[in-house]
Structure 1
Amino acid sequence: MIDLDDLDRALLRALAADASQSAGALGRNLGLSQPATWRRIRRLEQAGILAGRRLDLDKTRLGFGVTVFLGIKLAARGRTSLEDFERAISAIPEVQAVHHVLGRFDYRVRVVARDLADFERVLRRRVMTLPSVGDIESNVVLSEEIRPGPLRAATGSVD
C-alpha cells in the first residue's frame, strides 16, 4: 500500500463523486496543474487503488423497478463445481452481482427485474433451473441508500 497525502485523498473523493472529470478540471479544483493531477491518477492506478472507472446506470429509468437479493444454498457441492455455478448464474442478464459468502447460504446474488412478475419469471426459468441450486431466499429491496463506504474513513475528512 502506498502512503496517501491529503491531495491524494481529496483526489479520490473527487473521483468517487464524479469519475468523468478531466485531469485539468480535477487539478483546478485541487490547486494542481493538469500534468501533476494526471501523474497522481496514474500513480494511484499503478498502485491498484484506482482499479477502474464505471458508469452508473439508473435501473428504474431503464425499466428495472425491482431489485432482489437472493440467498442461494447449493444442494450438492460434488456434482457441480463452484466455478460452474458462478459461470452459470453470472450468465443470467438480470444478475448484477454474485458474492460467494460464509453463513447459511453459499451465495448472495443481486437481481434486477422490470416488476415482480418479471422477477418470478427470472427466478423460475433461470435461477431455479441451474444445477445444484438448493434452498433460495428472496429479499425484495424497498429502498436503497448509497453510502460512500470506507472511502471517507480511509482517506480522512477534508471537509
Structure 2
Amino acid sequence: MIELDEIDRRLLRELAADAALPTAELGRRLGLSQPAAWRRVKRLREAGVLAGRRLRLDAGALGFGVTVFLGVKLAAKSQVNLADFERAVSAIREVQLVEHVLGLYDFRLRVVARDLGDFERVLRRRIMTLPGVGALEANVLLSEERRPGPI
C-alpha cells in the first residue's frame, strides 16, 4: 500500500472532480509546478491508485429514463455457475454494473432502460434466460442524491 500525504489526497479529490484536468492546472491548484504534479500523478498511476479515467454519461439525457437495481440469486452456486453468469450478464448492454455480493442475493446489477416496458423486455428476454438465474428482486431508482466520488 502506498503512503498518501495531504497533497496526494487533494490531488485525488481534484482528479475525481475532473479527471481531464491538465497537470499544469492541477499543479496550480495544489501549489506545485507542472512537473511536480505530473510526477505525483505518475507515481499514483504506477502504484495502482489511479486506475484509468472514465467518462460519466447522463443516462437520462441519452434516453434511458429508468435505472433499476436488480438483486439476482443463482439457483445453484458453484465456481462454474458464478463465472458463467458473470460472463453472460456482462455481455448485456443495458447492464451497467455487475457486483458479486454477500447477502440475500449473489449479484447486484445496475440496469438502464428507456422506460419500464423496455426494462421488462430486457428482464424477460435477456436476464431471466441467463444460466443459473433463480430469484430476482428489482428496485427502481427514484433519484440519485450523490454520485460515487473519492474515498
Output the TM-score relative to the length of structure 1. 0.90
Aligned to 2:126: 126
RMSD between aligned residues: 1.6
Matches of 1:43 and 1:102 in 2, distance apart?
34
Matches of 1:106 and 1:9 in 2, distance apart?
34
How many residues are treated as equivalent by the alignment?
A: 151
Change (3 A) 1:83 1:31: same
Aligned to 1:16: 16
Aligned to 1:81: 81
Q: How does 1:1-159 map to 2 (within 5 A)?
A: 1-77=1-77, 81-147=81-147, 151=151
- Tell me how far 1:81 sits from its aligned partner: 2.1
Q: Deviations over 1:56-113 (max 9, x none)?
A: 0011101111000001111123595211110001100000111111111111111000
Matches of 2:75 and 2:91 in 1, distance apart?
20
Identity of aligned pairs, percent? 70
Change (3 A) 1:150 1:62: closer
Secondary structure of the structure 2 residue equivalent to 1:81 = helix
Asked whether the equivalents of residues 89 and 130 of structure 2 are also in contact (C-alpha less than 8 Å), the reply is yes
Q: Which amino acid in 2 is paired with 1:50?
A: L
The gaps in structure 2 that reach 5 residues or longer are none
The gaps in structure 1 that reach 5 residues or longer are 152-159
**Bigger CA drift: 55-64 or 78-87?**
78-87
Change (3 A) 1:51 1:79: closer
Secondary structure of the structure 2 residue equivalent to 1:19 = coil
Matches of 2:107 and 2:7 in 1, distance apart?
39
Asked whether the equivalents of residues 79 and 132 of structure 1 are also in contact (C-alpha less than 8 Å), the reply is no
Asked whether the equivalents of residues 80 and 132 of structure 1 are also in contact (C-alpha less than 8 Å), the reply is no
**Bigger CA drift: 79-88 or 57-66?**
79-88
Change (3 A) 1:26 1:149: closer
Matches of 1:50 and 1:106 in 2, distance apart?
28
Secondary structure of the structure 1 residue equivalent to 2:146 = coil
Secondary structure of the structure 1 residue equivalent to 2:14 = helix
Secondary structure of the structure 2 residue equivalent to 1:96 = strand
Matches of 1:79 and 1:45 in 2, distance apart?
32
Secondary structure of the structure 1 residue equivalent to 2:119 = helix
